[in-house]
Amino acid sequence: MHPYQIEDEVKTRVFIVAIVFSIVAARLLNLLLLKLPFSIPWWVETPSVLGFFGFFILVFNKVLWKTKFFQKIEWFYIPNLNGEWKTEIRSSHKGFEEPLFSKLSIQQTASHISITMDTQESISYSVSAILLKSKRLNQFELTYNYINQPKADSISTMNIHTGTVWVQVSNDCKNLDGEYYSGRGRQNFGRIIMNRG
């Protein structure tokens, strides 16, 4: 998995809330320890504000961001695209006539993502991504760059190449629809439609 860009405002809000909770948690722990009838040995470390901050960020990144509660709060909303997607590609390589069907897998946390597509001829995987809300469409858009590696039994003209995919994310996060183009060596373009399967 690699980092991806999300709305700066969401990251800022998460950090501010995590800082506030960290300060409160560290203070409450300190007050609790002072009320104990015994003292904690010097060699036992208690979490500091930074320790709590790291814990809160980790829990948000791995779990909280995709819970129903946080998915409903616009201030912290990050579309959850995790899962297997059925993909249809209409390519200039085949004159837009013969659709190519494949499987696409997305693994995602609040800060990292991995997008992998497996076709009969090749496997592609993302190397960078951006998931931002478009002001003009008022919808989230996912853009990612990928590297495509042909399988051993693919046609001889197929070679390793890079490309870019841009898709609109439906409001229910069940459909992605957009375009792709491949770079030097292939120079194909087309439409790509993904449905969560």
Phi and psi at 165, nearest 5°, equal: -120, 135
Nearest Cα to 183, choosing from 151, 148, 155?
148
Query: In terms of domains, do 123 and 61 share one?
Result: no
What pLDDT does residue 64 have? 94
Amino acid identity, residue 104? L
Query: In terms of domains, do 51 and 106 share one?
Result: no
Query: In terms of domains, do 70 and 26 share one?
Result: yes
Query: In terms of domains, do 87 and 164 share one?
Result: yes
What pLDDT does residue 126 have? 97
Amino acid identity, residue 190? G
- Domain end: 54, 76, 98, which one? 76
Query: In terms of domains, do 45 and 134 share one?
Result: no
Amino acid identity, residue 122? S
Look up the CATH number of the domain holding residue 112. Answer: 2.40.128
How far is it, in rounded angstroms, from Cα 99 to Cα 119?
12
Query: In terms of domains, do 103 and 43 share one?
Result: no
- Domain end: 76, 95, 125, which one? 76
Query: In terms of domains, do 167 and 98 share one?
Result: yes
What pLDDT does residue 18 have? 94
- Domain end: 43, 76, 109, which one? 76
Q: What is the bridge-based pairing of β-strands 175-182 and 122-134?
A: unpaired
What pLDDT does residue 74 have? 87
Query: Which residues does the chain have with pLDDT short of 50?
Result: none
Half-sphere exposure of 123 (CA within 13 A, CB side): 7
Query: In terms of domains, do 92 and 21 share one?
Result: no
Query: In terms of domains, do 114 and 46 share one?
Result: no
Query: In terms of domains, do 68 and 99 share one?
Result: no
Query: In terms of domains, do 101 and 176 share one?
Result: yes
**How many domains does the chain contain in total?**
2
Instruction: Using CB atoms within 10 Å of the CB of residue 4, give its burial: 0 to 12 exposed, 13 to 18 middle, 19+ buried.
Output: buried
How far is it, in rounded angstroms, from Cα 188 to Cα 146?
14
Query: In terms of domains, do 39 and 128 share one?
Result: no
Give the domain extent around 49: 2-76
What pLDDT does residue 186 have? 67
